Amino acid sequence: MIVVPGPSSPKVGEGVAQIIGAKKVGVDYKNFPDGESYIRVAEGVKGEEVVLVHTTYPQPDKRVIELLLLIDTLKDLGATKVRVVVPYMAYSRQDTRFRDGEAVSVNTIFRLIEAAGADGFYTVDIHKELSLGEFKIKAKNLHATGVIADHLRGMGLKKPYILSPDKGALDIARRIGERIGAEYGNFEKARDRITGATTVKGDRVDARGRDVVITDDLISTGGTIANACKILKDGGARRVIAVCTHPLLVAGAYERMKGAGLDEVLGTDTVESEISKISVAPLIAKEFR
């Protein structure tokens, strides 16, 4: 078995290869002057089973194209099997036709991945696990809650409360809460489907004197976390920490959350960023040992 770390997941891909003791094969990549993507697999893969690790952020559209080029090329070069690991699956929030005429983007992308020749698909904390039903090949969602909980356990939290900012991510809060033996619960969030603006309400959580950990699948603009953080700080929380699986952190997100009083923000390396202190490589590697 060989591991191919795609251009967007050099560290996680390397980590997976090291843990499972597999050879790593690199990818040469660049942009053509007109913006198109160039991809070249640097060594032969004929007759090999390949694990391709390639996330789809930043620049999700470009990353998706690279992913498709890589899958198809690996198969064309003679790989016997290409199992695809996409640590962060872009477009997974558009999993429903919320307004008439909208694309159900995640379904389109999944059909393309399968058509390109993927023999298996793995991702981490996808927005909705049900979306994987679009695949005919084996498709699996891995939960980062274990590695996140292990990290939180070492942080010396005082009277911790694990909070999901909305009902959608309550399962993440529950898994972490149960693993570290902390209370958990959720706020309520509403999103304007046209402007994308969110409002968060929470009156049932008594945050006084506690360290509250807000957990979410992803942080994009930081608006959700900032809104929840303000409520918690007004309610007397000692410290508010945000932890997410996918730290997209678009421009201004960090400042927005800090401005709301957030004490710390952490993420995993499904998206390799400055705050990606928790690695999902062991979690992925377990699937291929």
**Nearest distance, CB of residue 171 and ligand R5P, angstroms:** 11
**Nearest distance, CB of residue 36 and ligand R5P, angstroms:** 30
The verdict on whether 189 is a catalytic residue reads yes
- Residue 276 backbone phi and psi in degrees, to 5: -80, 75
Contact status: 164 vs ligand R5P (CB under 6 A): no
Contact status: 182 vs ligand R5P (CB under 6 A): no
Contact status: 125 vs ligand R5P (CB under 6 A): no
Contact status: 60 vs ligand R5P (CB under 6 A): no
Selected catalytic residue, list 189, 201, 277, 286 = 189
Q: Which secondary structure element, helix H or strand E, spans residue 203, and what is its range?
A: none
**Integer Rg of the chain from CA:** 20
Residue type for position 110:
F
Contact status: 267 vs ligand R5P (CB under 6 A): no
**Nearest distance, CB of residue 163 and ligand R5P, angstroms:** 12
Residue ranges in 194-213 that form contacts with ligand R5P under rule CB under 6 A: 198
83 vs 233, beta carbon nearer ligand R5P:
233
Question: Which range, of 142-150, 170-178, 217-225, 259-267, touches ligand R5P by CB under 6 A?
Answer: 217-225
41 vs 169, beta carbon nearer ligand R5P:
169
Query: Would you state the structure tokens that stand for residue 240, as one six-digit string?
Result: 């508010």
Euclidean distance between CA atoms 273 and 134, whole angstroms: 30
**Nearest distance, CB of residue 244 and ligand R5P, angstroms:** 8
Contact status: 169 vs ligand R5P (CB under 6 A): yes
The answer, yes or no, to whether the previous bond of 7 is cis (omega within 30 of 0) is no
37 vs 273, beta carbon nearer ligand R5P:
273
**Exposure class string for 64-103: b at 16+ Cβ within 10 A, else e:** bbbbbbbbbbbbeeebeebbbbbbbbbbbbbbeeeeeeee
- Hey, is 143 helix, strand or coil? coil
* Inter-residue contact 261 to 77 (CB < 8 Å): no
- Hey, is 75 helix, strand or coil? helix
**Exposure class string for 231-268: b at 16+ Cβ within 10 A, else e:** bbbeeebbbbbbbbbbbbbeeebbebbeebebbbbbbb
**Nearest distance, CB of residue 267 and ligand R5P, angstroms:** 12
Instruction: Give the interface with ligand R5P as residue ranges (CB under 6 A).
Output: 165-166, 168-169, 198, 216-224
**Which active-site residues does the annotation give?**
189
